[in-house]
Amino acid sequence: MENPTKRMALKESNISRYEQEFLEVSCIGSGEFGSVFKCINRLDGCEYAVKKSIKPVAGSVNERSALNEVYAHAVLGRHQHVVRYFSAWAEDNHMFIQNEFCNGSSLEELIKEYNEDNKIFSQDDLRTLLIHILEGLKYIHSMSLIHLDIKPGNIFISREKHYNSINGDSHDDGFEDDEAEDVTYKIGDLGHVTSLHNPVVEEGDCRYLPREILQEDYSHLPKADIFALGLTVYEAGGGGPLPKNGVWWHAIRDGKLKDLPQCTRDFNDLFKLMIHPDPTLRPSAQCLLQHPAVSPTVSMTKAQLQRELRAQRHKNEMLSKILMSSFVTEHEESIPKRLSSSRCIGKKVNRSQSNIEF
């Protein structure tokens, strides 16, 4: 029996489906490989990001990158901090990849917006970004894969609004619910992903590459992702734009970074640790998630954690009292005052008298 081929070349599949299955809304990004479109699936009505190659891919140098991304998604499956993959197909020798649509655009776009508005990420914001991408990298590395192109343009943002009920109950208690927004950072664009054990390295953006990759030393590939992430978060904190070459480019690879003014000493030192010239001294994603600067509670003793818990409970109790007092006051003020001429119960009413003598 003839074994079916495991992987089909792009030119072997030529079934049209893009226009049949998707309504194209807008172009949300473009690059060397192609463009990404926000689309609505005509069947389920959901939004997706569909990547389409600009030029015919079959037989070109971009074919390996296109298929590499598909295979990487297939291996990785689903993770909260990796952009979700749905399907891929070829149409007229163009590659299409259907991914999760992230409604918050990319970190690169957010950094541009912040720069235009003279805003910066706070340390708490940077910590959230760092934790989310570390979780994604931890998962990718656990599958013996390396991303090799971590940068702001390949980190996508999902925003989801929800309402927090003040007292945790779903019924109407007279209080307005607070609107909150969950922000989730996700790793995308897996075109440079390679295997840890049999690497085929295609260099990514030189601004985020460590020196050892450029010297073709692939013995510590996971640490290249850590290097790139350190510079990515540093850039988000106002440390960019990063150089493509020159004196500063070399200084960064010697472990020299200017401190971010909004960050503590420990957090600034963490950046330097992540870009250490010696890749063996850069922590893994797992170790960084346990670093005190990333997760302050990790270094706290049981007694300290209990004190923090008691303090937080006390704050919550005080806040509840203040809110309840405010509610009662507003409720009383909303009740119309009785007219002074209103008759009191029992006023000028003949009272019965008992004739029984004791």
Which two tokens mark 166? 């003040």
Which two tokens mark 85? 């993959």
**pLDDT at res. 174:** 52
- Tell me the per-residue pLDDT of 291-330, one tens digit each, with 9 for 90 and over: 999 987 654 455 555 666 676 777 777 777 777 777 666 6
254 is catalytic: no
Q: Give the pairing type, strands 94-100 and 155-164.
A: unpaired
Q: Is 11 annotated as a binding residue?
A: no
Same domain for 195 and 141? yes
How many domains, in total, are found in the chain?
Answer: 3
Catalytic residue among 124, 149, 269, 278: 149
- Tell me the per-residue pLDDT of 50-106, one tens digit each, with 9 for 90 and over: 999 877 666 666 677 778 888 898 888 889 999 999 999 988 888 899 999 999 999
* pTM as predicted: 0.75
**pLDDT at res. 191:** 86
Same domain for 218 and 78? no
**pLDDT at res. 302:** 57
Look at the alpha carbons of 275, 280, 284, 288 in this order and tell me if their dihedral is positive or negative.
negative
First to last CA, the chain: 117
Same domain for 20 and 165? no
Q: Is residue 244 part of a domain?
A: yes
37 neighbors 97 (Cβ within 8 angstroms): no
More confident residue, 90 or 275: 275
How large a percentage of the chain has pLDDT more than 70? 76
Same domain for 96 and 133? no
Q: For the ranges 14-18, 49-53, 240-244, 334-338, which has the lowest average pLDDT? A: 334-338
Which two tokens mark 202? 């295609």
Same domain for 216 and 272? yes
Q: How far apart are CA 336 and CA 125, in angstroms?
A: 47
Q: Is residue 341 part of a domain?
A: no
More confident residue, 351 or 81: 81
SS3 for 282? Answer: coil
Which two tokens mark 300? 């706290």
Same domain for 165 and 88? no
- Quote the domain boundaries for residue 311: 298-323
**pLDDT at res. 129:** 97
How many CA atoms does the CB half-sphere of 293 hold within 13 Å? Answer: 18
SS3 for 351? Answer: coil
The residue type found at 206 is: C
Same domain for 310 and 200? no
Q: What is the CATH number of the domain that holds 45?
A: 3.30.200.20
Q: Is 168 a residue whose pLDDT tops 80?
A: no
Same domain for 121 and 269? yes
Q: How far apart are CA 51 and CA 85, in angstroms?
A: 11
